[in-house]
Amino acid sequence: MNALTKTAKLFDREIIRKNLIELNYRVKENIYYLTHPFMPDPVFIVGCSRAGTTVTFETIRTSPDLLSFPFEIPQFWHSLVGPLNKDWDSEAASSHDARSQHREQAFAYFYSRLGKGLVLDKSCINVMRIPYLKALFPNAYFIYIQRDGRDNISSLMEGWKQRGRFDLHQYLGKLPETVQINQGKFKDWCFFLPPGWRDYNNASLEEVCAYQWLTANRMALEARTLISDDKWIHLRYEDIFEDPVEMFKSVFERLQLPFSEKLKSHCATLNKRPTSIVSGPPKKEKWKSQNPEAIEKILPVIEPMLKELGYE
């Protein structure tokens, strides 16, 4: 880079704007560390990617009593503990990874960017980090949403096919292993990196997505034993089709937050409109029209978990 280019960058308005924003964040973070204003433990939405976490998040975040980012923040969680400092094991984290400074760093990050208040977070990797988050935030709420594995895995497959949209290199950089999923059609992982991911680098797409669904739900159910009943809110994606108003009214009651008429009206139309990620309105048994043959192949693998979650 020559001197002229460097000089031009010094006066680039967009660069100046971004630098000022970052400086403002640093100042506010220092204010948090100096004053330690009270911040309640967050509310975490967890579940397998494409299980309805987005529609759940977008519905709950309409509450004026909650603070949230309009996007996921895996880079922040990775900065505390992640694959880059865990020998690329996975994006999971356990209670053994928790450090007291992580709690302070998280609150400083939230405070500097969102302000003081109750934070709602939805980052798909956190379904594999519940014990870690519980250790950092003992009074946090966890909203776990499940979805029929046949539809969930089919939806994951459709997401993988959207080249580049959910690829992990944008968050993690190049993986340290060669990936040849579906006979080399996919050379990167999408959505999240589960424990044991290396064993699936040469598997079929349906096998990989089935493993992601199984791992996410297994880790959530195992972590459930760590959370008290009053802090664990268990939802089913399929209830969005049956009675979304009652479904989310119950959530707000459990969170001890008002369920306004505006929120009620919002929930009443959930099964008629798309979310920010799904390309169409929610629909039952999409797998039958999207990936029927692939899902039939992995049914024996996912059947025990389907039964455990209450699906016939």
CATH value at residue 77 = 3.40.50.300
* Closest-CA residue to 217 (of 102, 309, 294): 309
pLDDT tens by residue, the chain, 312 residues: 565 555 555 566 777 777 788 888 999 999 999 999 999 999 999 999 999 999 999 999 999 999 999 999 999 999 999 999 999 999 999 999 999 999 999 999 999 999 999 999 999 999 999 999 999 999 999 999 999 999 999 999 999 999 888 999 999 999 999 999 999 999 999 999 999 999 999 999 999 999 999 999 999 999 999 999 999 999 999 998 889 999 999 999 999 999 999 999 999 988 776 554 555 556 677 787 788 899 999 999 999 999 999 998
Please indicate, yes or no, if residue 209 is contained in any of the structural domains.
yes
Report how far residue 67's alpha carbon sits from residue 80's, in angstroms, rounded to the nearest whole number.
21
What pTM value is reported for the model?
Answer: 0.91
Please indicate, yes or no, if residue 14 is contained in any of the structural domains.
no
Please indicate, yes or no, if residue 97 is contained in any of the structural domains.
yes
146 beta partners: 236
Domain count, the chain: 1
Please indicate, yes or no, if residue 17 is contained in any of the structural domains.
no
Q: For residue 80, what are the contacts with CB-CB under 8 A and spacing of at least 6? A: 99, 102, 105, 106
Residue indicated by tokens 């001890």? 256
- Secondary structure of the chain: what % helix, strand, coil (to 5)? 55, 5, 35
Please indicate, yes or no, if residue 223 is contained in any of the structural domains.
yes
* Strand ordering across the sheet containing 43-46: 120-121, 43-46, 141-146, 232-236
Please indicate, yes or no, if residue 4 is contained in any of the structural domains.
no
Specify the pLDDT at position 276.
Answer: 47
Query: The domain containing residue 192 runs over which residues?
Result: 31-308
Please indicate, yes or no, if residue 46 is contained in any of the structural domains.
yes
Specify the pLDDT at position 287.
Answer: 80
- Structure-block tokens of residue 246: 């009652």
C-alpha distances (whole Å) from 152 to each of 79, 143, 213 are: 29, 18, 7
Please indicate, yes or no, if residue 11 is contained in any of the structural domains.
no
